[in-house]
Amino acid sequence: MQAPDRSPGVQAAEKAPVVQAAEKAPAVQAAVVTPGRDLRLDLFRGIALWLIFLDHIPSNLVAWGTIRNYGFSDATEIFVFVSGYTAAFVYGKEMRERGPFIAGAHILRRVWQIYVAHVFLFAIYLAEISYVATSFENPLYAEEMNILDFLKQPDVTIVEALLLKFKPANMDILPLYIVLLLLFPPILWLLQFRAWLALGASVLLYVLTWHFGWNLPSYPEGVWFFNPFAWQLLFVFGAWCALGGAHRLGPVLQSRVTLGIAIAYLLFAFVIALTWYLPGMGPYVPHWLEELIYPIDKTNLDVLRFAHFLALAVVTVRFIPRDWPGLRSPLLWAPIVCGQHSLEIFCLGVFLSFAAHFAMIEVSGAIWMQFLLSGLGIVVMIGVAGLLTWYKRAERSSGSRPKRPPDADLAGGEA
């Protein structure tokens, strides 16, 4: 799912011009938008794609270095927040300049592009798994990747997959992104003029989802692993930050008290996470606290996960400002360029994670092999992202395609 805008504490440098509707009605306020491209969005989305790839490789020692093992949230929160931020940044600008219908049509076109990418990913991914499972006479591959139903009833399963109800392992993020973007046009319109109302509606939907247990059905049973009615909160919050929320929160985010609370919460989450892997620490956690915080539900975006992401964002924004010189350093080129091609790199990461899993089972599961495959996969992702960047620049310089503003890349569409 790239599937892929970012930190809630990004400070806006200037106010965008007030739209004509706001001039006629003083009660309607135009969004405050940070002009220009924020490379932090690309940087952290690229890092999130790497972490997702590593986490998708079963029994991978390198995955112990990802953030999911040291707190309540993981790379998924980063990816969804950045996706909401970038979508609002790009399509919000278009909605102000060209109107809600044109912007809405372009959002739906992007939904179709991601849906087509998901279908192609599904077909090739199933072919990859089925070929390996058959060639090596190991049905465990099909069971681990959740495609046994496809092998038993391919006709029914394909229809369910087209309806986004059947999803093999590691293919849950793109369907989530499709649904979030599909519902985004009216939300974006409301964010332009009644930002707090839009955010409040998102919070209300989140609360009702938890209260009534709302979710979408999955096939052959169960519900979506990423509940879109809950995860929409992080997506909408990212969009709200892009359209002035980060600017309004600026004084709060720069407060030392806020920074202290964020660091304290990260330390608390770190200690709790250690008890998952060090049984000797379990008795030191009070029983009442365990009853209060568990289970920390990923499917419905537990509030502890959301708060953990916010704490990470506060610390990140404080120590990595928008104009940080390191963002232009060649050392950070690799994750930034991957973040700029999030859809392609995410799909590639799904293939590479299964290929690495296969190699660890059939060739060697030694530690050196795990490090080799993890590093090789990231190198391939960087190489493909660099190639895509070179190709787009070559097309622009040759004049074979109309040049669009660099902002257009942020939403993951063609540029």
Report yes or no: 236 and 202 within 8 Å, Cβ to Cβ. Answer: yes
Residue 135 scores a pLDDT above 90: no
**10 or 379, which is more confident:** 379
Is-contact 120 136, C-beta < 8 A? no
Segment of 101-105, 130-134, 321-325, 397-401 carrying the highest mean pLDDT: 101-105
The Cα–Cα gap between 193 and 297 comes to 33
- Chain length of the chain: 415
**Residue 7 Cα distances to 47, 230, 246, 367, angstroms:** 14, 20, 8, 35
Task: Provide the H-helix boundaries in 25-70.
Answer: 39-55
pLDDT digits (tens, 9 = 90+) for 182-191: 999 999 999 9
| Cα four-point dihedral sign 115, 5, 332, 172 | negative
Which 3 state secondary structure label does DSSP give 217? strand
For residue 241, give the DSSP letter.
I
The enclosing H or E element of 24 equals helix 20-24
For residue 4, the model assigns a pLDDT of 41
The token pair that represents 92 in the structure block: 């919000």
pLDDT tens-digit map of 199-217: 999 999 999 999 999 999 9
What pLDDT digit, counting tens, does each position of 382-408 carry? Answer: 999 999 999 988 888 876 565 554 444
| pLDDT (0 to 100) of residue 136 | 75
Out of 28-32, 121-125, 331-335, pick the least confident: 28-32
Q: Read off the pLDDT of each residue in 409-415 and give the average, rounded to a whole number.
A: 46
Residue type, 380: V
pLDDT digits (tens, 9 = 90+) for 35-80: 567 899 999 999 999 999 999 999 999 999 999 999 999 999 999 9
Residue 155, number of CB atoms within 10 A of its CB: 8
The helices-and-strands tally (H runs, E runs) of the chain is 19, 0
Of the pLDDT bands very low, low, confident and very high (cuts 50, 70, 90), residue 147 is confident
Residue 187 class from Cβ within 10 Å (0-12 exposed, 13-18 middle, 19+ buried)? buried
Contact in structure between 346 and 1 (CB atoms under 8 Å) = yes
Residue boundaries of the structural domains of the chain: 20-411
Token pair in block for residue 173 = 């993020």
Mean pLDDT of 155-181: 92
Q: Which amino acid is at 331?
A: L
CB-based contact 71:48 (threshold 8 Å): no
d(CA 356, CA 348): 12
For 274, the 3-state DSSP assignment is: helix
Provide DSSP, 287-342: HHHHHHH-S--TTTT-HHHHHHHHHHHHHHHHHS-TT-GGGGSGGGHHHHHHHTTH
Element (H, E) at 253: helix 250-253
Query: What pLDDT is recorded for position 394?
Result: 86
What does the pLDDT read at residue 403? 52
Q: Distance (Å, rounded) from C-alpha 13 to C-alpha 281?
A: 46
Distances (CA, A) of 147 to 121, 330, 378: 14, 41, 26
What is the model's pLDDT at position 412? Answer: 52
Q: Taking residues 131-147, what's their average pLDDT?
A: 75
What pLDDT sits at residue 408?
44
- Between CA 393 and CA 415 the distance in angstroms is 10
Mean pLDDT, residues 235-264 taken together: 93
> What was the pLDDT predicted at 345?
96
Q: Is the pLDDT of residue 336 over 60?
A: yes
Given this model, what pLDDT does residue 130 score? 81
